[in-house]
Amino acid sequence: MIYADNAATTKMSDAAIETMTRVIRENYGNPSSLYAFGQEAKEVLEQAREDIAKIIGADAREIIFTSGGSEADNQALISAAKIGAMKGKKHIISSAFEHHAVLHTLKKLEKEGFEVTLLDVHENGIIKPEEVAAAIREDTILVTIMYANNEIGTIEDIKGIGAVCREKGVIFHTDAVQAIGHLPINVQEQNIDMLSASAHKFHGPKGVGFLYVKKGIKVSNLIEGGAQEKGKRAGTENVPGIAAMATALAESVNNIEKNTARLTAVRDRIIKGLKEIPHSAINGDETSRLPSNINFCFEGIEGESLLLLLDDKGIAASSGSACTSGSLDPSHVLLAIGRVHDVAHGSLRLSIGEDITDDEADYIVKSVKEVVEYLRGFSPVWRDLVAGKTKFIL
């Protein structure tokens, strides 16, 4: 079996599992309790906070632990909106291909009277800092642009966009869930005011993440209750998960160079192979993309069927197509980069892991080629294309 869906979630690393089980066994006290059991758990918690902060160039006081990336995104956007509302600034800038945790929160804010501008991401999935600058108005409070896209893997110029926001006095948030642990991040050097992260995308456990918020920006709490996380996030802390997240992040960051070199080579090997399939196209910029991400459209087929047949061949992949995501619309990301519905339905995302071998990469290419050819063999859409009744787009 080849697991090629690391953008959906990753396997926990052995080191992270060890940390997690050790903390579960040994540090089960409540960090809010004053006796030694509690204080030991508190130490584990604060050590993780310090370690994580240091890795991204932040101060420990700027890290709030959350239940994952979605909660961090919600909290970042809602906090910025509250600050804006107090200042009479109700304009927010984002992009059309953000994660739903961002897009759906923006929809909610629109209902509350905020105005949202979604920037065009162009065919290559890249937003230029000048375009962000041009969209900023007197009443803009927040710019939220993702660091790397979860479907097509494109990487944005975060430092450049951050610089524009800093110059204009606008809060800059980035959903870095796909980037952290895989690309170098320094919130100070990259002018980032708020950043969302999730442990399960970098070999940590599921259900835990964090939000970085630059000192001086007021955070609103989404969950009422106890005074945990300085009153910004009530609920007894997930100490084992948080400790394991710190372990996984340190491990990933220490191996970034090695992993990037290895993954980039394999990614490009797979891309080269898949390009040989006629009437296909890669989605997203080819160079400014995550080393793990391969995303293609194949004309005349359904991504859904492609996935099921690849599963039969022992390959776990993903598609932005209809039923996988539980809706009839194709991926909003593929539509945002200008793919028409029919083409977007025939998409495939492979997000490879660091332990992939060259043989596995070649097996993936061979399998996708076979399956695409097989599916086209009885696709009415393909028959019409070949007969010239409809025109090829790719």
Ligand X SMILES: *Cc1c(COP(=O)(O)O)cnc(C)c1O
**Catalytic: 297?**
no
69 versus 320: smaller Cβ distance to ligand X: 69
Q: Does the CA dihedral 205-16-178-213 come out positive or negative? A: positive
Q: How far apart are the first and last CA of the chain?
A: 31
245: which 2 tokens? 């997240």
Q: Which of 320, 289, 292, 294 is nearest to 306 (CA)?
A: 320
Helix (H, G, I), strand (E, B) or coil at 148: strand
71 versus 354: smaller Cβ distance to ligand X: 71
Q: Is 144 in the site for ligand X (CB under 6 A)?
A: no
- 279 dihedral zone (left: phi>0; alpha: psi -120 to 50; beta): left
Q: Is 79 in the site for ligand X (CB under 6 A)?
A: no
Report in angstroms how near the CB of residue 95 gets to ligand X at its nearest: 12
Q: Is 177 in the site for ligand X (CB under 6 A)?
A: yes
Distance CA 121, CA 348 (A): 20
Where would I find the H helices in 169-300? 239-254, 256-274
86, 323, 340, 393: which one is catalytic?
A: 323
150 versus 283: smaller Cβ distance to ligand X: 150
Scan residues 196-235 and list those touching ligand X (CB under 6 A).
198, 200-201, 209
181 versus 300: smaller Cβ distance to ligand X: 181
Scan residues 301-340 and list those touching ligand X (CB under 6 A).
none
Report in angstroms how near the CB of residue 138 gets to ligand X at its nearest: 30
Q: Is 99 in the site for ligand X (CB under 6 A)?
A: yes
CB 348 within 8 A of CB 306: yes
Report in angstroms how near the CB of residue 290 gets to ligand X at its nearest: 11
Q: Which residues have C-beta within 8 Å of that of residue 57, sequence separation ≥ 6?
A: 185, 186, 187, 188, 189
Scan residues 56-75 and list those touching ligand X (CB under 6 A).
68-70, 73
198 versus 367: smaller Cβ distance to ligand X: 198
Q: Is 174 in the site for ligand X (CB under 6 A)?
A: no
Among 5, 40, 62, 175, binds ligand X (CB under 6 A): 175
Query: Where in the sequence numbering do the catalytic residues fall?
Result: 323
